């Protein structure tokens, strides 16, 4: 594989996918990114077996090919190069060489055949949503997702469509957030899917404010095309709670307040909150009175009594 591209042509797609590349992995190839060069473009793929991100950019490809290289090392190299620098990438056996000006880098690689890829997701329907609206759905609800809860179906975000609207719901069992938007084109059928927490956070990171997003929903995966970035995530196999039961239908009282004043009042009140609370509601925070004694307890020092055997030995020694 041989190609030439600018620093920005490599760095931009690499920064888009690096979020799913963990430093410590059970499989060595998951610490790498897949580079695929052909037809005047280079695509970079990263995955953690739950979320897959693919980003592409223009390149001058003289020899097509596929190879995997360490993702974090590659990112550090491109970040260290000056702007607009031309970079030549080539493979020599199991090594990948990078040349940029007077700099030379050689990285180890793994075969592309070992890199796990998500095939076609067999989408049941595709929804078209404005990026700004979809980002608003996630921003208004993602904070209520559970984290490492034994009820695994709460560790994600519910996406639900009834044909006319797209709704996002998240809850951790204590709070619930819901937001919805109108669809520009009617969906084929009503559907519910749960996107895992990692996928929601990555999707929130790469979403912009302009243009549309194509959201393909399958039975086991969800896929979104955002410009030159393709996002694919597994779905959580579980039944989301019936959130409609906890939302008041006809409340007896409705309180209206000025948003900014209420926000500032809550921020002032939160200064004295305790971080940890017991199940009974009693504070167990670091600075709470129940977690510290106001007066030290006075205990008499213990005196070690001699055993009868030791007493007899000391008596006989004195005689």
Does the structure show a pLDDT above 80 at 81? yes
- What percent of the chain shows pLDDT beyond 90? 61
The answer to whether the beta carbons of residues 207 and 226 sit under 8 Å apart is yes
Q: CB under 8 Å to 108, separation ≥6 — which residues? A: 69, 70, 94, 95, 96
Q: 2-114 architecture in CATH?
A: Roll (3.10)
At residue 102, what are phi and psi to the nearest 5 degrees? -95, 10
Q: How far apart are CA 190 and CA 15, in angstroms?
A: 35
The answer to whether the beta carbons of residues 107 and 98 sit under 8 Å apart is yes
Range 100-108 average pLDDT: 92
Q: Which CATH number is 125-245's, of 3.40.190.10, 3.40.50.620, 3.90.280.10, 3.10.150.10?
A: 3.10.150.10
The answer to whether the beta carbons of residues 45 and 115 sit under 8 Å apart is yes
pLDDT band for position 211 (cuts 50, 70, 90): confident
Q: How far apart are CA 110 and CA 119, in angstroms?
A: 20
Does the structure show a pLDDT above 70 at 284? no
pLDDT band for position 275 (cuts 50, 70, 90): confident
Domain boundaries, given as residue ranges, for the chain: 2-114, 125-245
Answer with the residue of higher pLDDT: 250 or 283: 250
pLDDT band for position 299 (cuts 50, 70, 90): low
Q: In the numeric block, which tokens belong to residue 21?
A: 């590349």
Range 282-293 average pLDDT: 42
pLDDT band for position 164 (cuts 50, 70, 90): confident
- Cα–Cα distances (Å) from 130 to 165, 190, 237, in that order, read 13, 19, 27
pLDDT value at position 138? 95
Whether 2-114 and 125-245 share one fold: the answer is yes
Q: What's the whole-model pTM score? A: 0.79
pLDDT band for position 227 (cuts 50, 70, 90): confident
């Amino acid at each position: 594989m041989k190609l030439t591209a600018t620093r920005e042509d490599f760095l931009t797609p690499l920064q888009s996918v690096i979020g799913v590349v963990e430093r410590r992995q059970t499989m060595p190839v998951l610490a790498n990114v897949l580079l695929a060069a052909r037809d005047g473009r280079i695509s970079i793929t990263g995955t953690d077996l739950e979320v897959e991100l693919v980003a592409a950019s223009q390149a001058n490809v003289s020899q097509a090919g596929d190879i995997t290289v360490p993702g974090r090392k590659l990112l550090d190299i491109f970040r260290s190069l000056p702007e607009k620098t031309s970079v030549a990438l080539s493979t020599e056996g199991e090594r990948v060489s990078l040349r940029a000006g007077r700099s030379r880098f050689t990285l180890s690689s793994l075969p592309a055949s070992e890199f796990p890829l998500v095939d076609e997701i067999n989408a049941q329907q595709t929804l078209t949503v404005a990026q700004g609206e979809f980002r608003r759905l996630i921003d208004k609800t993602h904070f209520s997702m559970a984290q490492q809860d034994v009820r695994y179906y709460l560790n994600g975000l519910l996406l639900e469509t009834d044909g006319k609207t797209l709704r996002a719901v998240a809850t951790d069992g204590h709070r619930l957030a819901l937001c919805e938007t109108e669809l520009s084109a009617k969906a084929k059928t009503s559907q519910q899917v749960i996107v895992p927490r990692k996928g929601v956070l990555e999707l929130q990171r790469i979403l912009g404010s302009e243009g549309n997003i194509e959201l393909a929903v399958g039975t086991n995966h969800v896929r979104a095309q955002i410009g030159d970035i393709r996002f694919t995530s597994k779905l959580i196999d579980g039944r989301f709670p019936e959130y409609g039961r906890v939302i008041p239908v006809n409340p007896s009282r409705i309180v209206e307040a000025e948003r900014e004043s209420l926000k500032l009042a809550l921020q002032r009140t939160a200064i004295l909150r305790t971080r940890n609370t017991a199940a009974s509601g009693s504070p167990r925070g670091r600075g709470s009175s129940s977690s510290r004694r106001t007066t030290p307890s006075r205990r008499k020092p213990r005196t070690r009594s001699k055993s009868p055997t030791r007493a007899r030995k000391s008596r006989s020694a004195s005689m």
